[in-house]
């Protein structure tokens, strides 16, 4: 049994599925950074009340439409305003940072909020080239050393790290260890997660692949660690839920049109440009009628709550997991909250 699985403490949504929130902290409709951050607090509080298991937040740099540069700071703030929901990073971009500093920051969170902290790691730059260089210099050089960084971080969290043969501890050391996860969209990130005994989060909302191969490689190569004894898979999906199918599609078109006018990439999320693969299988009905190609349809679910639960169930069966992170980008804060609420309410009946 895992020492900190992040499940069970607040799993009133259903006994079968574990749903969490992945919050990019978007600045919707010209909101200020202050307003966006307050909306994130509201979202976390409401998610906890509705039965979501976890609240994770992302790391992005120099992106005008997002206010999420430092997940550990926001998690400290939200932890003080919630009671039981798991708190995690989706993700801390490890190539930019010292493993010791990351371990210290999240162990401090673990001491503040015992048993609630999940450290999700990523290997993307998280911003444009100039912001990336300003943050940590030569990113490509840093990411090439990611295996060494992951090894050091794992050793620090298992209290067996040495520097020049001298023991170094990441303090404070919480009584309940934090859990460690790797986020990614391909086989490479899955292999890292397996090698270092981490949980694996497949980012379906960013990937043209269906995750089958990455998850298979993760499970087959998994090596148990001190904090995770067996492989654990989670899937991050983009979903927009409304009371009617027509309303959901209208909201999605509104978001797409808004991004086109602002010059942002037309994708499930307002972060970075991504390529789409037109040769993947179609998992979403009527995607062609909505003007979405197959890869795009897999990245973003839009519809009524029962329809989205059906799609989640299909992913669950394919990847053999019932753990999901749900990201909902808009089109405004009121409808974002409504989408999460409808999905939670339907889950209590549907699952």
Tens of pLDDT along 245-279?
999 999 888 888 876 766 554 344 544 333 222 23
Confidence of residue 288 (pLDDT cuts 50, 70, 90): very low
Q: Which residue has the tokens 């292999």?
A: 191
- Distance, CA of 119 to CA of 92 (rounded, Å): 8
- pLDDT > 70: what percent of the chain? 84
- Mean of the pLDDT values across residues 300-313? 96
The pLDDT of residue 136 is: 96
* 5 has a pLDDT exceeding 60: no
- Distance, CA of 148 to CA of 181 (rounded, Å): 16
- Of 292 and 334, the one with more pLDDT: 334
The pLDDT of residue 66 is: 97
- Mean of the pLDDT values across residues 131-148? 97
- Distance, CA of 216 to CA of 318 (rounded, Å): 11
* 62 has a pLDDT exceeding 80: yes
- Mean of the pLDDT values across residues 137-155? 97
Give the alpha-carbon dihedral of 78, 76, 182, 332, to 10 degrees.
Answer: 30
Confidence of residue 280 (pLDDT cuts 50, 70, 90): very low
Q: Which is it for strands 92-93 and 117-122: parallel, antiparallel or unpaired?
A: parallel
- Mean of the pLDDT values across residues 198-209? 96
- pLDDT > 90: what percent of the chain? 79
* 305 has a pLDDT exceeding 50: yes
* 350 has a pLDDT exceeding 60: no
* 130 has a pLDDT exceeding 60: yes
The pLDDT of residue 124 is: 95
Tens of pLDDT along 75-92?
999 999 999 999 999 999
* 284 has a pLDDT exceeding 90: no
Q: Phi and psi at residue 228, in whole multiples of 5°?
A: -145, 115
The pLDDT of residue 53 is: 97
287-290 long-range Cβ contacts below 8 angstroms, 24+ apart: 290/249, 290/252
CA distances from 105 to 69, 109, 144, 173 (A): 15, 6, 23, 11
* 46 has a pLDDT exceeding 90: yes
- Of 181 and 287, the one with more pLDDT: 181
pTM: 0.89
The pLDDT of residue 12 is: 45
- Distance, CA of 69 to CA of 127 (rounded, Å): 10
The pLDDT of residue 255 is: 83
Tens of pLDDT along 87-118?
999 999 999 999 999 999 999 999 999 999 99
């Amino acid at each position: 049994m895992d020492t900190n699985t992040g499940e069970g403490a607040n799993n009133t949504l259903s006994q079968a599925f574990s749903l969490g929130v992945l919050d990019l902290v978007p600045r919707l409709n010209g909101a200020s950074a202050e307003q966006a951050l307050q909306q994130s607090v509201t979202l976390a509080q409401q998610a906890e009340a509705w039965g979501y298991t976890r609240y994770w937040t992302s790391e992005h740099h120099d992106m005008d439409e997002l206010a999420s540069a430092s997940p550990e700071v926001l998690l400290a703030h939200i932890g003080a305003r919630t009671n039981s929901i798991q708190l995690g990073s989706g993700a801390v971009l490890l190539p930019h940072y010292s493993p010791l500093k990351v371990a210290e920051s999240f162990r401090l969170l673990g001491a503040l909020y015992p048993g609630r902290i999940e450290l999700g790691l990523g290997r993307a730059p998280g911003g444009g080239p100039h912001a990336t260089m300003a943050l940590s210099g030569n990113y490509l050089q840093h990411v090439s050393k990611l295996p060494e960084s992951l090894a050091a971080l794992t050793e620090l969290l298992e209290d067996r790290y040495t520097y020049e043969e001298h023991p170094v501890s990441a303090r404070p050391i919480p009584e309940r260890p934090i859990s460690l996860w790797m986020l990614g969209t391909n086989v490479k990130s899955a292999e890292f997660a397996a090698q270092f005994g981490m949980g694996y989060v497949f980012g379906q909302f960013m990937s043209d692949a269906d995750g089958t191969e990455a998850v298979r490689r993760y499970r087959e190569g998994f090596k148990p660690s001190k904090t995770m004894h067996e492989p654990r898979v989670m899937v991050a999906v983009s979903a927009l839920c409304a009371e009617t199918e027509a309303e959901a599609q209208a909201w999605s078109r509104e978001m797409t049109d808004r991004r086109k006018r602002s010059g942002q990439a037309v994708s499930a999320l307002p972060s970075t440009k991504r390529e789409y693969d037109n040769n993947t299988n179609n998992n979403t009905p009527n995607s062609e009628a909505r003007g979405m190609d197959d890869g795009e349809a897999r990245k973003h679910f839009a519809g009524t709550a029962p329809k989205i639960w059906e799609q989640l169930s299909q992913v669950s069966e394919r990847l053999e997991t019932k753990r999901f992170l749900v990201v909902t980008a808009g089109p405004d804060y009121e409808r974002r909250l409504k989408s999460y609420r409808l999905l939670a309410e339907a889950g209590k009946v549907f699952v």
